[in-house]
Amino acid sequence: MAIEFLSIVIFTFALALLGLGAFTWWMERGPRRQVGTLMIILALLIAGSYAFLASRFAIAVFGRLIITIDLPRLMATAVIYTIGVMFGFGFAGGVFLWISGRLIKPTGFERKLAVFVTVTLLIALVISVVAVQISH
């Protein structure tokens, strides 16, 4: 379990570094743009090196697998969870900025739309809870 957790931490770190590097490369100009490129290269190097330790190529170099877990399955799970967490934080931050008026001033229609979306999500949540209870 610990090796799986560490693998997720390493790959999530590399994924975040890749995303932040791409953002930095996109936003900056001149010499600072190279920092974004460096971050992207480091992210790929970290992820590639760690993946190498669990690949068949590690057997050829070291004579054994250094990391003995199913990395493709684990990484698919980690990427899905990471993207889910990022979307969750993004939605929460967006709602906070919208409600606080820091980003935009909501109109009456936007408020009604937000209430509609909230009620729809609550109905979906209630239906999901009932479905889970029925399935047991």
pTM of the model: 0.57
User: What phi-psi label fits residue 101: left (phi over 0), alpha (psi between -120 and 50 degrees) or beta?
Assistant: left
Domain-terminating residue out of 45, 63, 80: 80
Q: 104 CB contacts (<8 Å, ≥6 apart)?
A: 97, 98
| One domain for residues 7 and 49 | yes
Q: Which regions of the chain are under pLDDT 50?
A: none
Domain that includes residue 127, residue range = 106-136
Same domain, 114 and 71: no
User: What confidence score (pLDDT) does residue 38 get?
Assistant: 92
pLDDT tens, position by position, 34-72: 888 999 999 999 888 887 777 777 777 777 766 677 777
Nearest Cα residue to 4 out of 81, 64, 61:
81
**What is the pLDDT, as a whole number, of residue 62?**
75
Residue tagged 């109905």 (tokens):
123
